[in-house]
Copies of this chain bind each other. A is one copy, B any other.
Amino acid sequence: MPSPTRQVFFLSNGTAITAETLGLSLLAQFPDHKFQTRTIPFIDTLEKVHAVAEEINHSINGANQLPIVICTMGDDDLMKIVNQTKALVIDPFGDILPRLEKVLAAQHHQPGQSHRTVNLSLYESRIDAIDYAMQHDDGGKTQNYDEADIILVGVSRSGKTPSCLYLALQFGIKAANYPITEEDMDFEQLPKPLRPFKDRLYGLTTNLNRLVNIRQERRPDSRYSSSEQCRYELRAVEDMYLRHNIPYINTSEMSVEEISARIIRDNDLHRSDLT
């Protein structure tokens, strides 16, 4: 018997990114269950928390199932009201902060401030990296590759652009990307703009079916999205990676987060977002 859909709330007096990230990871451990999730950020007054508490209590569904609440509310008074709801309330800060306080021999302050711009130079390095990714997307401005932390290569629609943007936004990493087109595939040598930067290249590839599907969305029934063309391009680009010893990954089963984490690890890239 399939379970009915369970209501889940991610709450915080800040952006609720932490509550939601942790919450979605936890829910992913129960793939046979259906969840209806709702993220409510910036619950920073008694009035707002009472309104949310009422909503939680009203969300108990016909099957009489407890809603689940994952809440990183920092303020104790606000948290108390969430704890009084008829829900399974998970409060990771409440569980963990006392243990950290003991080890650090310190009281905590300033809850809910975790995603604010504290460090201006960090903020600027992210913005610089975004500018760089935008200008060096899809083979643009190849003359500035000496500034790149990494240059992603691959055929059209293999995941280069989202990966570059994610690396920039999340980690302040300057990532360029260069599309390998049919003209580049006819030669033994690497495309000219890439040759001086061989040590910064990282290849993406994907599965044939996945590439055909994605290209069909973009240009249905074209040569570009045909199986023959996609097969040819994927073989040629993988041959190029092997011939020139370019490390590469198959992105077809990966999220943008996972692709980016692997690129950072495989290339030992410096993240400007961490202390």
Which residues does A use to contact B, with CB under 8 Å? 3, 6, 14-18, 21-22, 24-39, 41-42, 66, 68, 72, 74, 88, 90, 92-93, 95-97, 99-100, 103-104, 106, 108-111, 113-117, 123-124, 126-127, 130-131, 134, 137, 161-162, 165-166, 169, 214, 217, 253-258, 261-262, 265, 271, 274-275
Contact = CB atoms under 8 A, between A and B. Distances in A.
A99 B90 contact: yes
Contacts of A115: 25, 255, 257-258
Contacts of A15: 255, 257-258, 261
A179 B162 CA distance: 23
Nearest to A162: B130
Contacts of A108: 29-30
Contacts of A261: 15-17, 41-42
B17 A257 contact: yes
Contacts of A126: 162, 256
Contact of A137 (B33, B134, B274): B134
A18 B258 CA distance: 12
Nearest to A102: B88
Interface-central residue, A37, A217, A258, by most chain B CB under 10 Å: A258
B28 A113 contact: yes
